[in-house]
Amino acid sequence: MFHPVVRSTQRFPVGLQSPGEDSITTQLHPLSRPAEPADDPALSRARATRRAWAAVAVSWAATRTLVMLMVLGLLQLGTSDVTSDVKVIYQGWAQVLQTGTFPLDDVTWQYPPLTALVMLLPHWLPWTYFTGFLVMVAVADALVLGLLLRASRHGRSRAGAWLWALVVPLLGPTVYCRFDLVVTAVGVVGLLAAATRPRLGGVLAGMGAMLKVWPVLMVLGTPRGRRTRETWTAMVVSALAIGFYYAVTNVGAYSFMSFQENRGVEIESLGAIPFYLAHLFGWRGHAEMHYGSTEFLGTGVQLVGKLMVALSLAAFAWLLLWRFRARRWTAATPADAALAALLLFTVTSRVISPQYLVWLIGVAAVCLVSPHTTQRPTAWLIAAASLFTFLEFPVFFGDLAAFKPLGVSVLVVRNLLLAAAALVSCRRLWCATVRPEPEAVPDMVPAALSEGLPVALPETLPEAAATDPETEPSC
């Protein structure tokens, strides 16, 4: 038997449920529900940061997978074997270094003594030498990426991490078949550490200098005063301690100096361009393996080699002048100065090997971490030069050595991009630190204008008067 349903006519205050109602009533009336709390801005930023870091990490993993496929020969680009340096030369050096002596009779050994540690490390790992070497450079690569991401916190930019993730693989398999990734990691760590721990930055710069010399340039832009004294002193002490250790424990630790001195003009350097042009007009020189790289032999080579050394000395003189004249430092200045110095010594070197570009990419990435850097255009030029470097070696290296137009054209474009990067970098560094700031409008002018008093104003007011002094100056 069915009983009729009797609805209650009792009224309850708005927002309260009657005893017989269930939660469906509330669901049917969403306006009666309490408002949900707004998202915490800090949590939103943290989630956005995690997503951005994950995107960078995935890009790094994908690009490095492609690089590893090229290294292992599963993806063929070009005919040059880039792994022979590791499997033959590096492994041979490691066998000699185990005996407590440096390769005294090998003219291809042209590195400071701490490089011995890098050569021996893959031998100590529980794999074949080649596998151990790949593990070592991959760890160094990942370390740089992690440090760049860590440095991008607190309002700084992730552009440096993206540059490292996407531009390094443009160099192709060569980047994993040379030990320059390890040296770059030391330079990047030192440059990042010097901002807050000057002594640690100096120690790492000294270690880097005993690996491949160029990391000594990382301390060039330290602000004057106590930070410079601490950083430079730590660098000198570190380098001297390492040098002394190898001098007393190994034979021939400094034999590399004579080998380096006798190098000629390598076919990939900026100084090689005149010889390619001269070849069109009957120059009878040729290219062959000489002191560990393919160099030109023939009329005028020694003269161009001396000219390149003179240009390096001129670059050093300009850097000293900049250091003396600089008046303004920002958080970005040390890295900006390091990149300018490294570019100058790269383009004036008698040798520009493909792996040299990884140094430039690493330092440029550190520059991009700071929102106040002046080197963004320089970083773009380095990225473009990296792509042409891969085309030059290993893809068209055979054409280059045979003076064929395609290989030569690719090299000329690459070298001109590097030269342009050096000029742009130096000009922007000079403008940001040396060039006098435009005079600001006197403080009494706004007050006079508010009172209706006549004031003589210039036709155009300087932009810098209304801008943040930390912002990138126009130049």
Assess whether pLDDT exceeds 90 at residue 25.
no
The answer to whether the beta carbons of residues 247 and 254 sit under 8 Å apart is yes
Where exactly are the structural domains of the chain? 77-433
Assess whether pLDDT exceeds 70 at residue 189.
yes
Q: What is the DSSP letter of 297?
A: E
Predicted local distance difference test score (pLDDT) of residue 34: 55
Predicted local distance difference test score (pLDDT) of residue 81: 82
Region 447-454: what's the mean pLDDT? Answer: 44
Percent of the chain residues past pLDDT 90, beyond the cut: 69
Tokens of 305: 């080699």
- Across all residues in the chain, what is the average pLDDT? 85
Instruction: For the chain, give percent helix, strand, coil, nearest 5.
Output: 65, 5, 35
Assess whether pLDDT exceeds 70 at residue 125.
yes
Predicted local distance difference test score (pLDDT) of residue 264: 83
Predicted local distance difference test score (pLDDT) of residue 9: 47
Rounded CA separation 335/429 (Å): 10
**Number of H-type helices and E-type strands within the chain:** 19, 2
Predicted local distance difference test score (pLDDT) of residue 76: 82
The pTM is what?
Answer: 0.85
Residue bearing tokens 């709390």: 37
Which among 7-11, 127-131, 263-267 has the top mean pLDDT?
127-131
**Residue 365: which of 157, 54, 195 has the closest Cα?**
157
User: For residue range 57-108, what is the model confidence (pLDDT) as tens digits?
Assistant: 999 999 999 999 999 989 887 667 889 999 999 999 999 999 999 998 888 8
Residue bearing tokens 């994993």: 176
Kindly state the greatest CA–CA separation across the chain: 119
Rounded CA separation 189/147 (Å): 7
Predicted local distance difference test score (pLDDT) of residue 191: 96
Predicted local distance difference test score (pLDDT) of residue 207: 97
User: For residue range 291-334, what is the model confidence (pLDDT) as tens digits?
Assistant: 778 899 999 999 999 999 999 999 999 999 999 999 999 999 99
Assess whether pLDDT exceeds 80 at residue 27.
no
Tokens of 198: 């000057």
Percent of the chain residues past pLDDT 70, beyond the cut: 82
Predicted local distance difference test score (pLDDT) of residue 472: 52
User: For residue range 374-388, what is the model confidence (pLDDT) as tens digits?
Assistant: 999 999 999 999 999
**Residue 206: which of 245, 179, 232, 180 has the closest Cα?**
232
Q: How confident is the model at residue 473 (pLDDT cuts 50, 70, 90)?
A: low
Assess whether pLDDT exceeds 90 at residue 457.
no
Assess whether pLDDT exceeds 90 at residue 201.
yes
Per DSSP, what are the bridge partners of residue 295?
266, 288
